Structure 1
Amino acid sequence: MFPFILFLFIAVPIIEIGLFIQVGGFLGLWPTIGLVLITAFVGASLVRSQGLQTLLTMQQRLQDGELPAQQILEGVLLAVAGVLLLTPGFLTDLMGMVVLLPGPRALLARKLMDKVSVQGNFQQPFGPGEHETSHHRGNTYEGEFDRKDNHDKHDKLN
């Protein structure tokens, strides 16, 4: 994994520099800088709107009692897309826009979920009629009590 990341840290800036030279030679300096700034602002607003939509979907799945694993991973991918879009460059903008689109993002999230296995001791929340025990959480206190109503208090006062 480390050699791949090292390759990306070397290759991506070289490709970006080449693209800047090509686009700058075609459009000129200021239009190229303007294009980079526009993609950053548009990308940031799109990440925000897509993030809110993903958050709403996640909340709906939680209310339905489902684990929103797909939406959580899509939220992480949206954060990655935001970083890519805010990074100056045309290649990173292209990659960020692809991740930003709902179809490719969902496909990428499903592929990543297939590669990841989750291990652990997960328990369902308490359903109707089920009670929490001390090994789940909290403390158990034992004791006795007597229930007295208002008539008992009134009789003892007279």
Structure 2
Amino acid sequence: MPFSLIPFLLLAIPAAEIAVFILVGGQIGVLWTFAAILATAILGSILLRVQGFQIVNRLREETNAGRVPGRELGHGAMILVAGVLLLTPGFVTDSLGFLLFFPPFRDLIWSWAATRIRFTGSMDGFAGQFGKTGQNGSRNGRDNVYDLDPEDYESHDRQNDGAVEDGSGEEKTSPWRKP
């Protein structure tokens, strides 16, 4: 979207919301209009929670399979925008928010956006964040444990059997040092 359209949208959306509020309020009354706005906000928060957990599970499945979860990330972003639109008071934003909760509509947007977005990257280390581990138990399939021999390092431990100075000249025993 060109940046020149953003100021127009910042004026057009609230103007459209005010016009729809006046029309709906004139037909069903002020209290029913407020009730409808509250109901859409509650329904939107429920849908956001349910579909949000579903998308997190699909993200986990894709990363565990070793694939980049581009489509799932796109759908997750659209679900987040849908939740924000439904929590924003207004019938125009609620309509857009409800549309974004329908997977066929998200797929339509995704098919348009996927031609403009390129996902690249490596799954090394990424899948481990979601619980996938290599054969030897390390996150990225490589063994990152290094065993050192006593001659490979030096200990700078004091000779006072775990006592540590606290700055006042007194020595205190630290629970982190062996006695």
Structure-1-length-normalised TM-score: 0.76
Shift of 1:111: 1.8
Following superposition of structure 1 onto structure 2, how do residues 64-143 of structure 1 map, counting pairs within 5 Å?
Answer: 64-118=65-119, 122-125=121-124
Q: Provide closer, same or farther for how the CA distance between residues 118 and 60 of structure 1 changes in structure 2, counting only shifts above 3 A.
A: closer
Measured on the aligned residues, the alpha-carbon RMSD in Å equals 2.8
The letter for the 1-side match of 2:41 is A
Kept in 2: contact 1:51–1:75 (CA 8 A): yes
What secondary structure is seen at the aligned counterpart in 2 of 1:125? Answer: coil
Deviation at 1:125, TM superposition (A): 2.8
Aligned letter for 1:18? A
| Separation in 1, partners of 2:116, 2:82 | 20
- In structure 2, C-alpha distance between the alignment counterparts of 1:60 and 1:92, rounded to whole Å: 32
Which structure would you say has the larger RCO, counting Cα contacts within 8 Å and 6 or more residues apart?
Answer: 1
Deviation at 1:98, TM superposition (A): 0.4
Please say if residues 82 and 96 of structure 1, whose CA atoms lie closer than 8 Å, have aligned partners that are also in contact.
Answer: yes
How many residue pairs get aligned? The number is 139
Distance 1:118 1:31, change over 3 A: same
Segments of structure 1 that go 5 or more residues without pairing to the other structure are 133-137, 146-158
**Identity over aligned residues, as a percent?**
34
| Aligned-partner Cα distance in 1 for 2:123–2:23 | 56
Task: Indicate the residue corresponding to 1:43 in structure 2.
Answer: 44
- The structure with the greater share of residues assigned to helix is 1
Q: Do 2:24 and 2:33's aligned partners in 1 also have CA atoms closer than 8 Å?
A: yes
Deviation at 1:107, TM superposition (A): 2.2
Structure 2 SS opposite 1:6: helix
Q: Deviations over 1:45-93 (max 9, x none)?
A: 0111111111111111111111111001111111100111011000000
The AA in structure 2 aligned to 1:91 is V
Letter in 1 for 2:67: E
